[in-house]
Amino acid sequence: MNDTLKIFAGNSNPDLALEICNCLSMPLGKAFVGTFSDGEIRVEVGENVRGKDVFVIQSTCHPVNNNIMELLIIIDALKRASARRITAVIPYYGYARQDRKVAPRVPISAKLVADLLTSAGANRILTMDLHVGQIQGFFNIPVDNLYASSVMMPYIKANFRDDPVMVSPDAGGVPRARAYAKRLEANLAFIDKRRDAPGKAKAMHIIGEVKDRVAVILDDIIDTGGTLSEAAKVLLEKGASAVYACCSHPVLSGPAVERIQESPLKGLVVTDTIPLRENALQCKKIHQLSVAPLFCKAITGIHKEDSISSLFDIQF
């Protein structure tokens, strides 16, 4: 890489940022990202970025609001330091679940965050597995949405060879499960799920044949783990020989890790868009795959103004 490219990061996912930099064979940019004594975010960029093509790596995971503010303030600092272009690299885009009005007097928070990022000075967004694709339309700047399937599919193909069935935990995820099933030449099923409240769901019945097959549940986000553990129970009741899950973003809030440990799931495969907390790292059922090489390719292509369409071959 030439010296016109700079990579910076906030505090949300330092391991992924360093891995991306190692993949690019370049150092992480010098910046102080901390707080004042009252908790306000304090940022100071420690090197020249005038005229540079700058990428800021920051997942908006727990603590969500702190990490969003860090990202906004880093972008503002870079803009005021005359960076030529600022790309916000957001492996996990938070607030994406509030993408439309589902009841009176509720916000569309995904749009609000998009406006904040644009107003702060971001010229481009690079993210992965947005909760819904329509969020790309909330921005008036280019958005590249990568797919974790690029790392998930090879893992599934290598580890689940005995006639697996790809399972969507709800009707909304069927396009994702169908894309996996088509690429892997596997069977397809989905669960009729009724949600009683945010973060709480009850799985009902299975659409598709799962009897005597290894069921692989596919989702983009695992939050409290309630949907996943309920789905695993229903699949086993319907005759599945074993149940695994693959989820892009391991939010794993509240009792999620305990639920996974106690559930009939044989294993859960996630990516490192969000760093695992200590209890998740200790859970033997959870296996984490790296998406750093994929982001490395995307950053390289964007910087060189090359096409990165090959990174979107696996879509839903």
Enumerate the known binding-site residues for Mg(2+). 131, 170
- Name the residue among 153, 159, 158 with its Cα closest to residue 179: 153
What number of residues does the chain have? Answer: 316
**CA–CA distance, 228 with 225 (Å, rounded to integer):** 5
Q: Name the pairing type of β-strands 267-271 and 286-289.
A: parallel
Contacts within 8 Å (CB) and 24+ apart, 168-174: 168/217, 168/218, 168/219, 169/193, 169/203, 169/217, 169/218, 169/219, 169/227, 169/228, 169/231, 170/201, 170/227, 173/218, 173/219, 173/220
Tell me if residue 193 is catalytic: yes
**CA–CA distance, 166 with 161 (Å, rounded to integer):** 12
Distance of CA 254 to the CA centre of its chain: 18
User: Quick one: tokens of 178?
Assistant: 């169908």
Q: What is the DSSP letter of 198?
A: T
Choose, from 52, 111, 193, 297, the residue flagged as catalytic. Answer: 193
Residues annotated catalytic, as ranges: 193
